[in-house]
Chain A
């Protein structure tokens, strides 16, 4: 954890809210709003699926969550702090607390699978001697222990996706954001990866997974659903805006 986060951490612990959107809108250029009037909260330690038809704005919402984009309007609080007006020099510290599985993987093509997975740890300044074990273990866990030195171009789509997931979770993020994380893997591996997410969730990581796979959704107990349609959140009960306190396990 970073220094200087005392008050916001206290606020976060008090409310149990890790993400809060208030009337958030997002517009690219001068076009129509891609996201409109989004207001919801995500509980710390929650497991959320984000669903909706293609073009509903799922990826745009995830981009707001992993700080690749600032909204055109509205308020976003992340880890208890307003990230809309936050100076850009403070963003890296927040990004290190978020793991991201990109829909297009975004693996660094000239790096091996090992180096891709090690990337978040190296960015965070972990010594080489301290990252060999965890990275090898993580690669073995996603079934790629034998392909550690392979470049992404030589990996299949499913293998690349597993490297991307290993990279997203290696630094034990507080918030994991995944865009269609099981789209290119077989059902068995999809279950295995989801089990990994579930294990992380049980350790306290808040998980947000955008997916079309209803079968995948049904395999997780205690999840919550965010439904997007044409840039708006379908939340007829208001439960997302005012989430109930999580029952103690």
Chain B
């Protein structure tokens, strides 16, 4: 015979009856995993969207030169562009061309709606250094282009950013709640399994089985049940996300489209079933060892 604490071998796994160990636990875990993956995907997607918004337009300002007289408008626009080029807080500035303006206004004025006699403001798009705000350029522009209006994209994006951030934290909270609920499910399932197999456990104990030997039997079976549930839940959530992704793509909206899931995010989501199984194993082991510790 070997010394010390032994693992039960493959044949000894029959010590617990075949089949489901803990009733509906795999299905409860499947539901939990489904919701966890959706919440995590929402959190990661919104996080990506927030980052994308911040990087793309959060540090940009739009300057509209509103002067109705075309000549004075052109002169103010040129001075504004030149002033922006000399402003340290400005990384780059460019004036939107006629074609670009026509494309932007097309939804409101129709194709060919930008007539020469229509007083269309001159527009300048400026990229500021990170953290800089429109106030850094307003006084300088006021001096050279009195009709210039500076729109800080960060200002109107701020409420949207706060909403996205709140939704992201809500998603994180939901994931944590799901983790807690999954752990509680495993605790209940492990206790139920212990009660169901109490007779077998007592016999094993009286033959000299250690707590760790007995716990390993349950831990392995609960892990298999959890794996089954986690895979089912993940597949369901992945299908749901795929379908929602297709609907989002069909919208063609840049803003909503920025909430898409890149490959790395999918890889992170695919780790969730594995983490779920590890959590189930850890919780089952702790629960069973604690319960066995109360027996002689």
Taking beta carbons and an 8 Å cutoff, which residues of A are in contact with B? 2-3, 66-70, 88-89, 91-97, 100, 106, 108, 110-111, 115, 119-120, 122-128
21 pairs from A and B in contact (CB 8 Å cutoff): A66-B206, A68-B206, A68-B296, A70-B296, A89-B210, A89-B211, A92-B209, A94-B208, A95-B205, A95-B206, A96-B207, A97-B208, A106-B202, A119-B207, A120-B208, A123-B208, A123-B213, A124-B1, A125-B2, A125-B6, A126-B1
For B204, give its contact among A68, A97, A123, A128 (CB under 8 Å). A123
Residues of B close to A119: CB separation below 8 A: 15, 203-204, 207
Residues of A close to B210: CB separation below 8 A: 89, 92
Q: Which residue of A lies closest to B208 (CB)?
A: A96
The A interface, classified by DSSP as helix, strand, loop or mixed, is loop
Taking the complex as formed, is B131 at the interface, i.e. its CB lies under 8 A from any CB of chain A?
no
A122 touches B12 (CB 8 A): yes
B199 touches A95 (CB 8 A): no
With A106-B199, A124-B6 in contact, do A91 and B296 touch (Cβ < 8 Å)? yes
Distance A92 CA – B15 CA, assembled complex (angstroms): 18
Distance A2 CA – B1 CA, assembled complex (angstroms): 10
Number of interface residues of B (CB under 8 A): 27
B200 touches A100 (CB 8 A): no
Distance A3 CA – B2 CA, assembled complex (angstroms): 11
With A95-B206, A108-B15, A123-B213 in contact, do A3 and B6 touch (Cβ < 8 Å)? no
With A108-B15, A122-B9, A125-B2 in contact, do A69 and B208 touch (Cβ < 8 Å)? no
Interface centre among B6, B18, B209 (most CB of A within 10 A): B209
Q: Which 9 interchain pairs have the tightest Cβ spacing?
A: A125-B6, A96-B208, A95-B208, A125-B2, A110-B17, A92-B208, A123-B209, A123-B207, A120-B207
Residues of A close to B9: CB separation below 8 A: 122, 127-128
Nearest chain B CB to A86's CB is how many angstroms away?
11
B208 touches A108 (CB 8 A): no
Residues of B close to A106: CB separation below 8 A: 199, 202-203
Nearest chain A CB to B249's CB is how many angstroms away?
53
Taking the complex as formed, is B104 at the interface, i.e. its CB lies under 8 A from any CB of chain A?
no
Residues of B close to A70: CB separation below 8 A: 296
B207 touches A95 (CB 8 A): yes
Distance A122 CA – B217 CA, assembled complex (angstroms): 13
Residues of B close to A3: CB separation below 8 A: 3
Taking the complex as formed, is B8 at the interface, i.e. its CB lies under 8 A from any CB of chain A?
yes
Nearest chain A CB to B230's CB is how many angstroms away?
27
Nearest chain A CB to B166's CB is how many angstroms away?
50
With A68-B296, A91-B296, A108-B200 in contact, do A128 and B207 touch (Cβ < 8 Å)? no
For B3, give its contact among A2, A66, A97 (CB under 8 Å). A2
Nearest chain B CB to A235's CB is how many angstroms away?
28
Residues of A close to B2: CB separation below 8 A: 124-125
A93 touches B208 (CB 8 A): yes
Q: Which residue of B lies closest to A106 (CB)?
A: B203
B206 touches A124 (CB 8 A): no
> Which B146-162 residues have a C-beta within 8 angstroms of A?
none
Distance A100 CA – B202 CA, assembled complex (angstroms): 12
A111 touches B208 (CB 8 A): no
Taking the complex as formed, is B14 at the interface, i.e. its CB lies under 8 A from any CB of chain A?
yes
Nearest chain B CB to A123's CB is how many angstroms away?
5
Taking the complex as formed, is B264 at the interface, i.e. its CB lies under 8 A from any CB of chain A?
no
Distance A11 CA – B205 CA, assembled complex (angstroms): 27
Nearest chain B CB to A4's CB is how many angstroms away?
10
Residues of B close to A111: CB separation below 8 A: 14-15
Distance A108 CA – B12 CA, assembled complex (angstroms): 12
Distance A219 CA – B160 CA, assembled complex (angstroms): 93
B179-216 near A? 1/0 per residue, CB < 8 Å: 00000000000000000000110111111111101000
Distance A126 CA – B205 CA, assembled complex (angstroms): 17
Distance A65 CA – B9 CA, assembled complex (angstroms): 29
Nearest chain B CB to A76's CB is how many angstroms away?
13
Residues of B close to A125: CB separation below 8 A: 1-2, 6
B159-173 near A? 1/0 per residue, CB < 8 Å: 000000000000000
Residues of A close to B267: CB separation below 8 A: none
Distance A74 CA – B53 CA, assembled complex (angstroms): 76
Taking the complex as formed, is B11 at the interface, i.e. its CB lies under 8 A from any CB of chain A?
yes
